[in-house]
Structure 1
Protein backbone atom coordinates (compact mmCIF):
# COMPACT_ATOMS: atom_id res chain seq x y z
CA UNK A 1 0.00 0.00 0.00
CA UNK A 2 2.98 2.31 0.14
CA UNK A 3 2.56 3.21 -3.56
CA UNK A 4 -1.10 4.24 -3.20
CA UNK A 5 -0.70 7.62 -1.50
CA UNK A 6 2.31 8.86 -3.50
CA UNK A 7 0.58 7.88 -6.75
CA UNK A 8 -2.60 9.67 -5.67
CA UNK A 9 -0.74 12.86 -4.71
CA UNK A 10 1.41 12.89 -7.84
CA UNK A 11 -1.67 12.37 -10.01
CA UNK A 12 -3.54 15.22 -8.32
CA UNK A 13 -0.57 17.56 -8.65
CA UNK A 14 0.08 16.73 -12.30
CA UNK A 15 -3.58 16.82 -13.36
CA UNK A 16 -4.33 20.22 -11.83
CA UNK A 17 -4.58 22.64 -14.71
CA UNK A 18 -3.81 19.95 -17.28
CA UNK A 19 -5.76 19.21 -20.47
CA UNK A 20 -7.71 16.09 -19.39
CA UNK A 21 -9.36 17.99 -16.55
CA UNK A 22 -10.24 20.89 -18.84
CA UNK A 23 -11.69 18.48 -21.40
CA UNK A 24 -13.75 16.91 -18.62
CA UNK A 25 -15.12 20.34 -17.65
CA UNK A 26 -15.92 21.11 -21.30
CA UNK A 27 -17.75 17.79 -21.79
CA UNK A 28 -19.62 18.11 -18.48
CA UNK A 29 -21.01 21.45 -19.65
CA UNK A 30 -21.83 20.08 -23.10
CA UNK A 31 -23.74 17.06 -21.84
CA UNK A 32 -25.10 18.57 -18.61
CA UNK A 33 -24.17 15.38 -16.74
CA UNK A 34 -21.11 16.20 -14.65
CA UNK A 35 -21.13 13.04 -12.54
CA UNK A 36 -21.40 10.74 -15.56
CA UNK A 37 -18.65 12.61 -17.41
CA UNK A 38 -16.41 12.61 -14.31
CA UNK A 39 -16.85 8.87 -13.77
CA UNK A 40 -16.05 8.13 -17.41
CA UNK A 41 -12.98 10.40 -17.26
CA UNK A 42 -11.93 8.60 -14.08
CA UNK A 43 -12.29 5.24 -15.83
CA UNK A 44 -10.17 6.59 -18.68
CA UNK A 45 -7.46 7.56 -16.19
CA UNK A 46 -7.73 4.18 -14.49
CA UNK A 47 -7.31 2.37 -17.80
CA UNK A 48 -4.24 4.35 -18.81
CA UNK A 49 -2.66 3.91 -15.41
CA UNK A 50 -3.40 0.18 -15.44
CA UNK A 51 -1.44 -0.08 -18.70
CA UNK A 52 1.44 1.85 -17.09
CA UNK A 53 1.32 -0.39 -14.00
CA UNK A 54 1.46 -3.51 -16.17
CA UNK A 55 4.48 -2.09 -18.01
CA UNK A 56 6.13 -1.33 -14.66
CA UNK A 57 5.40 -4.84 -13.44
CA UNK A 58 7.03 -6.21 -16.58
CA UNK A 59 10.10 -3.95 -16.29
CA UNK A 60 10.66 -4.32 -12.53
CA UNK A 61 12.68 -7.57 -12.57
CA UNK A 62 15.13 -6.04 -15.05
CA UNK A 63 15.89 -2.93 -12.99
CA UNK A 64 18.22 -2.55 -10.05
CA UNK A 65 17.08 -0.40 -7.11
CA UNK A 66 19.28 2.45 -8.36
CA UNK A 67 17.76 2.17 -11.84
CA UNK A 68 14.28 2.26 -10.29
CA UNK A 69 15.23 5.43 -8.42
CA UNK A 70 16.62 6.95 -11.60
CA UNK A 71 13.37 6.15 -13.41
CA UNK A 72 11.41 7.94 -10.68
CA UNK A 73 13.85 10.87 -10.85
CA UNK A 74 13.37 11.02 -14.63
CA UNK A 75 9.59 11.00 -14.21
CA UNK A 76 9.84 13.87 -11.71
CA UNK A 77 12.20 15.86 -13.96
CA UNK A 78 10.00 15.40 -17.03
CA UNK A 79 6.90 16.37 -15.04
CA UNK A 80 8.76 19.40 -13.72
CA UNK A 81 9.72 20.58 -17.18
CA UNK A 82 6.19 19.86 -18.41
CA UNK A 83 4.77 22.02 -15.63
CA UNK A 84 6.74 25.03 -16.84
CA UNK A 85 5.03 25.10 -20.26
CA UNK A 86 1.66 26.61 -20.98
CA UNK A 87 -1.20 24.20 -21.47
CA UNK A 88 -2.77 24.28 -24.92
CA UNK A 89 -6.52 24.02 -25.08
CA UNK A 90 -7.71 20.50 -25.90
CA UNK A 91 -9.97 19.78 -28.81
CA UNK A 92 -13.59 20.23 -27.79
CA UNK A 93 -14.45 16.96 -29.58
CA UNK A 94 -17.47 18.59 -31.21
CA UNK A 95 -17.37 16.11 -34.08
CA UNK A 96 -17.61 13.18 -31.66
CA UNK A 97 -21.21 12.04 -31.31
CA UNK A 98 -20.70 9.17 -28.89
CA UNK A 99 -22.79 10.49 -26.01
CA UNK A 100 -21.98 11.33 -22.41
CA UNK A 101 -20.49 7.90 -21.70
CA UNK A 102 -18.12 7.17 -24.56
CA UNK A 103 -17.00 10.68 -25.55
CA UNK A 104 -15.35 11.42 -22.17
CA UNK A 105 -14.12 7.84 -21.80
CA UNK A 106 -12.35 7.74 -25.15
CA UNK A 107 -11.50 11.44 -25.35
CA UNK A 108 -9.80 11.61 -21.95
CA UNK A 109 -8.12 8.23 -22.49
CA UNK A 110 -6.55 9.37 -25.76
CA UNK A 111 -5.63 12.79 -24.38
CA UNK A 112 -4.04 11.37 -21.22
CA UNK A 113 -2.29 8.44 -22.89
CA UNK A 114 1.40 8.68 -22.06
CA UNK A 115 1.08 11.76 -19.87
CA UNK A 116 3.08 12.61 -16.75
CA UNK A 117 0.72 10.76 -14.43
CA UNK A 118 1.23 7.50 -16.28
CA UNK A 119 5.00 8.03 -16.23
CA UNK A 120 4.78 8.34 -12.43
CA UNK A 121 2.66 5.19 -12.28
CA UNK A 122 5.24 3.33 -14.35
CA UNK A 123 8.08 4.51 -12.11
CA UNK A 124 6.24 3.68 -8.89
CA UNK A 125 5.12 0.31 -10.27
CA UNK A 126 8.72 -0.78 -10.85
CA UNK A 127 9.41 -0.20 -7.16
CA UNK A 128 6.67 -2.63 -6.09
CA UNK A 129 2.90 -2.79 -5.68
CA UNK A 130 2.01 -1.79 -9.25
CA UNK A 131 -1.74 -2.15 -8.81
CA UNK A 132 -1.73 0.16 -5.80
CA UNK A 133 0.21 2.68 -7.89
CA UNK A 134 -2.41 2.37 -10.65
CA UNK A 135 -5.29 2.66 -8.17
CA UNK A 136 -3.79 5.72 -6.49
CA UNK A 137 -3.13 7.47 -9.80
CA UNK A 138 -6.57 6.55 -11.11
CA UNK A 139 -8.25 7.93 -7.99
CA UNK A 140 -6.15 11.10 -8.18
CA UNK A 141 -7.10 11.61 -11.82
CA UNK A 142 -10.75 10.98 -10.99
CA UNK A 143 -10.65 13.47 -8.08
CA UNK A 144 -9.37 16.27 -10.29
CA UNK A 145 -11.80 15.41 -13.10
CA UNK A 146 -14.69 15.29 -10.64
CA UNK A 147 -13.94 18.80 -9.39
CA UNK A 148 -13.50 20.06 -12.96
CA UNK A 149 -16.80 18.50 -14.05
CA UNK A 150 -18.72 19.93 -11.09
CA UNK A 151 -17.25 23.41 -11.57
CA UNK A 152 -17.71 23.46 -15.34
CA UNK A 153 -15.51 25.01 -17.99
CA UNK A 154 -15.90 28.68 -17.09
CA UNK A 155 -15.17 28.29 -13.39
CA UNK A 156 -12.37 25.76 -14.02
CA UNK A 157 -10.64 28.10 -16.48
CA UNK A 158 -10.91 31.00 -14.01
CA UNK A 159 -8.69 29.20 -11.49
CA UNK A 160 -5.12 30.59 -11.83
CA UNK A 161 -3.37 27.32 -12.59
CA UNK A 162 -0.43 28.95 -14.38
CA UNK A 163 1.43 29.98 -11.23
CA UNK A 164 0.49 26.76 -9.46
CA UNK A 165 1.86 24.68 -12.35
CA UNK A 166 5.17 26.58 -12.21
CA UNK A 167 5.49 26.05 -8.45
CA UNK A 168 4.66 22.35 -8.75
CA UNK A 169 7.04 22.06 -11.71
CA UNK A 170 9.90 23.60 -9.72
CA UNK A 171 9.18 21.26 -6.79
CA UNK A 172 9.22 18.27 -9.15
CA UNK A 173 12.52 19.44 -10.65
CA UNK A 174 14.11 19.79 -7.21
CA UNK A 175 12.81 16.39 -6.04
CA UNK A 176 13.90 14.72 -9.27
CA UNK A 177 17.40 16.18 -9.03
CA UNK A 178 17.67 15.09 -5.39
CA UNK A 179 16.56 11.53 -6.12
CA UNK A 180 18.82 11.31 -9.20
CA UNK A 181 21.86 12.47 -7.24
CA UNK A 182 21.08 9.93 -4.54
CA UNK A 183 20.62 7.12 -7.06
CA UNK A 184 23.94 8.03 -8.69
CA UNK A 185 25.51 8.11 -5.22
CA UNK A 186 26.60 11.70 -5.63
CA UNK A 187 25.04 12.80 -2.34
Structure 2
Protein backbone atom coordinates (compact mmCIF):
# COMPACT_ATOMS: atom_id res chain seq x y z
CA UNK A 1 0.00 0.00 0.00
CA UNK A 2 2.94 2.33 0.57
CA UNK A 3 3.83 2.11 -3.15
CA UNK A 4 0.32 3.28 -4.05
CA UNK A 5 0.40 6.33 -1.80
CA UNK A 6 4.02 7.24 -2.53
CA UNK A 7 3.41 7.04 -6.27
CA UNK A 8 0.16 8.98 -6.00
CA UNK A 9 1.80 11.86 -4.14
CA UNK A 10 4.96 11.87 -6.25
CA UNK A 11 3.03 11.79 -9.53
CA UNK A 12 0.62 14.52 -8.46
CA UNK A 13 3.50 16.81 -7.53
CA UNK A 14 5.55 15.89 -10.60
CA UNK A 15 2.73 16.62 -13.05
CA UNK A 16 2.21 20.20 -11.86
CA UNK A 17 3.39 22.36 -14.72
CA UNK A 18 4.67 19.38 -16.71
CA UNK A 19 4.03 18.53 -20.34
CA UNK A 20 1.36 15.79 -20.06
CA UNK A 21 -1.04 18.13 -18.27
CA UNK A 22 -0.28 20.88 -20.76
CA UNK A 23 -0.91 18.55 -23.70
CA UNK A 24 -4.18 17.41 -22.12
CA UNK A 25 -5.31 21.04 -21.91
CA UNK A 26 -4.38 21.61 -25.57
CA UNK A 27 -6.22 18.50 -26.77
CA UNK A 28 -9.28 19.23 -24.63
CA UNK A 29 -9.51 22.68 -26.25
CA UNK A 30 -8.97 21.33 -29.76
CA UNK A 31 -11.55 18.55 -29.55
CA UNK A 32 -13.89 20.30 -27.09
CA UNK A 33 -14.03 17.00 -25.23
CA UNK A 34 -12.26 17.19 -21.86
CA UNK A 35 -13.99 14.00 -20.68
CA UNK A 36 -12.64 12.05 -23.65
CA UNK A 37 -9.13 13.43 -23.10
CA UNK A 38 -9.29 12.49 -19.42
CA UNK A 39 -10.45 8.96 -20.31
CA UNK A 40 -7.64 8.60 -22.87
CA UNK A 41 -5.15 9.94 -20.30
CA UNK A 42 -6.35 7.33 -17.81
CA UNK A 43 -5.60 4.48 -20.22
CA UNK A 44 -2.31 6.02 -21.38
CA UNK A 45 -1.08 6.66 -17.83
CA UNK A 46 -2.06 3.21 -16.64
CA UNK A 47 -0.33 1.55 -19.60
CA UNK A 48 2.88 3.53 -19.14
CA UNK A 49 2.79 2.95 -15.38
CA UNK A 50 2.28 -0.79 -15.71
CA UNK A 51 5.26 -1.04 -18.08
CA UNK A 52 7.44 0.85 -15.59
CA UNK A 53 6.14 -1.27 -12.69
CA UNK A 54 6.90 -4.47 -14.59
CA UNK A 55 10.46 -3.26 -15.20
CA UNK A 56 10.76 -2.43 -11.50
CA UNK A 57 9.54 -5.88 -10.53
CA UNK A 58 12.12 -7.47 -12.83
CA UNK A 59 14.89 -5.30 -11.42
CA UNK A 60 13.97 -5.74 -7.74
CA UNK A 61 15.58 -9.17 -7.11
CA UNK A 62 18.90 -7.87 -8.39
CA UNK A 63 19.07 -4.96 -5.91
CA UNK A 64 19.81 -4.82 -2.20
CA UNK A 65 17.42 -2.79 -0.01
CA UNK A 66 19.99 0.02 0.14
CA UNK A 67 20.36 -0.01 -3.64
CA UNK A 68 16.58 0.20 -4.03
CA UNK A 69 16.52 3.22 -1.75
CA UNK A 70 19.38 4.86 -3.66
CA UNK A 71 17.55 4.12 -6.91
CA UNK A 72 14.45 5.90 -5.58
CA UNK A 73 16.62 8.81 -4.38
CA UNK A 74 18.10 9.08 -7.87
CA UNK A 75 14.63 9.05 -9.47
CA UNK A 76 13.47 11.82 -7.14
CA UNK A 77 16.65 13.80 -7.76
CA UNK A 78 16.16 13.61 -11.54
CA UNK A 79 12.52 14.65 -11.22
CA UNK A 80 13.38 17.50 -8.87
CA UNK A 81 16.30 18.70 -10.95
CA UNK A 82 14.18 18.70 -14.07
CA UNK A 83 11.44 20.67 -12.33
CA UNK A 84 13.87 23.48 -11.58
CA UNK A 85 14.19 24.28 -15.28
CA UNK A 86 11.51 25.73 -17.57
CA UNK A 87 9.32 23.15 -19.25
CA UNK A 88 9.38 23.04 -23.05
CA UNK A 89 5.90 23.27 -24.59
CA UNK A 90 4.61 19.91 -25.82
CA UNK A 91 4.14 19.18 -29.48
CA UNK A 92 0.56 20.24 -30.23
CA UNK A 93 0.03 17.14 -32.42
CA UNK A 94 -1.60 19.39 -35.00
CA UNK A 95 -0.71 17.10 -37.89
CA UNK A 96 -2.19 14.00 -36.28
CA UNK A 97 -5.37 12.87 -38.02
CA UNK A 98 -6.30 9.95 -35.77
CA UNK A 99 -9.33 11.50 -34.14
CA UNK A 100 -9.76 12.80 -30.62
CA UNK A 101 -9.53 9.47 -28.78
CA UNK A 102 -6.49 7.99 -30.54
CA UNK A 103 -4.59 11.27 -30.73
CA UNK A 104 -5.13 11.82 -26.99
CA UNK A 105 -4.32 8.22 -26.09
CA UNK A 106 -1.14 7.89 -28.16
CA UNK A 107 0.10 11.44 -27.59
CA UNK A 108 -0.35 11.24 -23.83
CA UNK A 109 1.14 7.74 -23.68
CA UNK A 110 4.28 8.93 -25.45
CA UNK A 111 4.65 11.87 -23.08
CA UNK A 112 3.82 9.79 -20.02
CA UNK A 113 6.19 6.98 -20.92
CA UNK A 114 9.10 9.36 -21.38
CA UNK A 115 8.23 11.29 -18.23
CA UNK A 116 10.20 11.34 -14.97
CA UNK A 117 7.17 9.90 -13.20
CA UNK A 118 7.86 6.56 -14.88
CA UNK A 119 11.34 6.46 -13.38
CA UNK A 120 9.78 7.07 -9.95
CA UNK A 121 7.20 4.30 -10.59
CA UNK A 122 9.99 1.93 -11.60
CA UNK A 123 11.93 2.73 -8.42
CA UNK A 124 8.87 2.40 -6.19
CA UNK A 125 7.84 -0.85 -7.85
CA UNK A 126 11.32 -2.26 -7.23
CA UNK A 127 10.75 -1.68 -3.49
CA UNK A 128 7.16 -2.93 -3.30
CA UNK A 129 5.64 -6.34 -2.66
CA UNK A 130 2.83 -5.43 -5.06
CA UNK A 131 4.59 -3.44 -7.83
CA UNK A 132 1.41 -2.78 -9.81
CA UNK A 133 0.18 -0.56 -6.96
CA UNK A 134 2.88 1.95 -7.93
CA UNK A 135 1.34 2.14 -11.42
CA UNK A 136 -2.18 2.65 -10.03
CA UNK A 137 -0.95 5.33 -7.63
CA UNK A 138 0.93 7.17 -10.36
CA UNK A 139 -2.11 7.06 -12.63
CA UNK A 140 -4.36 8.48 -9.91
CA UNK A 141 -1.84 11.14 -8.90
CA UNK A 142 -1.26 12.19 -12.49
CA UNK A 143 -4.99 12.35 -13.16
CA UNK A 144 -5.41 14.63 -10.14
CA UNK A 145 -3.46 17.20 -12.15
CA UNK A 146 -4.27 16.25 -15.76
CA UNK A 147 -8.06 16.25 -15.27
CA UNK A 148 -8.20 19.87 -14.03
CA UNK A 149 -5.83 20.88 -16.84
CA UNK A 150 -8.17 19.33 -19.42
CA UNK A 151 -11.20 20.96 -17.83
CA UNK A 152 -9.55 24.40 -17.62
CA UNK A 153 -8.20 24.30 -21.16
CA UNK A 154 -4.86 25.68 -22.24
CA UNK A 155 -5.47 29.34 -21.38
CA UNK A 156 -6.82 28.50 -17.94
CA UNK A 157 -4.09 25.96 -17.21
CA UNK A 158 -1.14 28.06 -18.37
CA UNK A 159 -2.61 31.07 -16.54
CA UNK A 160 -1.90 29.39 -13.20
CA UNK A 161 1.39 30.12 -11.36
CA UNK A 162 2.88 26.84 -12.61
CA UNK A 163 6.49 28.04 -12.85
CA UNK A 164 6.60 29.01 -9.17
CA UNK A 165 4.83 25.83 -8.09
CA UNK A 166 7.13 23.72 -10.25
CA UNK A 167 10.24 25.26 -8.69
CA UNK A 168 8.96 24.73 -5.14
CA UNK A 169 8.09 21.13 -5.96
CA UNK A 170 11.50 20.66 -7.58
CA UNK A 171 13.24 21.78 -4.39
CA UNK A 172 11.06 19.40 -2.34
CA UNK A 173 11.96 16.48 -4.62
CA UNK A 174 15.66 17.31 -4.36
CA UNK A 175 15.49 17.55 -0.56
CA UNK A 176 13.64 14.23 -0.35
CA UNK A 177 16.23 12.65 -2.65
CA UNK A 178 19.10 13.91 -0.51
CA UNK A 179 17.44 12.57 2.65
CA UNK A 180 16.77 9.16 1.09
CA UNK A 181 20.25 8.95 -0.37
CA UNK A 182 21.98 9.83 2.87
CA UNK A 183 19.79 7.36 4.74
CA UNK A 184 20.56 4.58 2.26
CA UNK A 185 24.25 5.25 2.72
CA UNK A 186 23.69 5.26 6.49
CA UNK A 187 25.07 8.76 6.83
CA UNK A 188 22.00 9.92 8.75
Partner of 1:131: 132
In structure 2, how many angstroms separate the alpha carbons of the residues matched to 1:66 and 1:56?
A: 15
Partner of 1:30: 30
In structure 1, how many angstroms separate the alpha carbons of the residues matched to 2:114 and 2:155?
A: 27
**Does structure 2 conserve the Cα–Cα contact (< 8 Å) formed by 1:3 and 1:124?**
yes
Q: Is 1:85 paired with 2:85?
A: yes
Aligned pairs (5 A) from 1:10-89 = 10-89=10-89
User: Per-residue deviation at 1:143?
Assistant: 2.1
In structure 2, how many angstroms separate the alpha carbons of the residues matched to 1:113 and 1:176?
A: 22
In structure 1, how many angstroms separate the alpha carbons of the residues matched to 2:149 and 2:167?
A: 20
**Does structure 2 conserve the Cα–Cα contact (< 8 Å) formed by 1:42 and 1:145?**
no
In the alignment of these two chains, the number of paired residues is 187
Deviations 1:91-138 (A, max 9, x none): 110100111110010001112223111111001001112111110001
In structure 1, how many angstroms separate the alpha carbons of the residues matched to 2:141 and 2:132?
A: 14
Partner of 1:153: 154
In structure 2, how many angstroms separate the alpha carbons of the residues matched to 1:91 and 1:18?
A: 13
In structure 1, how many angstroms separate the alpha carbons of the residues matched to 2:53 and 2:95?
A: 32
TM normalised by structure 1 equals 0.98
In structure 1, how many angstroms separate the alpha carbons of the residues matched to 2:114 and 2:122?
A: 10
In structure 1, how many angstroms separate the alpha carbons of the residues matched to 2:95 and 2:54?
A: 33
* Bigger Cα displacement from structure 2, 27-36 vs 38-47: 38-47
In structure 2, how many angstroms separate the alpha carbons of the residues matched to 1:16 and 1:46?
A: 18
In structure 1, how many angstroms separate the alpha carbons of the residues matched to 2:132 and 2:29?
A: 32
In structure 2, how many angstroms separate the alpha carbons of the residues matched to 1:161 and 1:120?
A: 21
Moved over 3 A (4+): none
In structure 2, how many angstroms separate the alpha carbons of the residues matched to 1:16 and 1:23?
A: 12
In structure 2, how many angstroms separate the alpha carbons of the residues matched to 1:91 and 1:3?
A: 31
Pairwise CA RMSD: 0.8
**Does structure 2 conserve the Cα–Cα contact (< 8 Å) formed by 1:39 and 1:146?**
no
5+ unaligned residues in a row in structure 2: which ranges? none
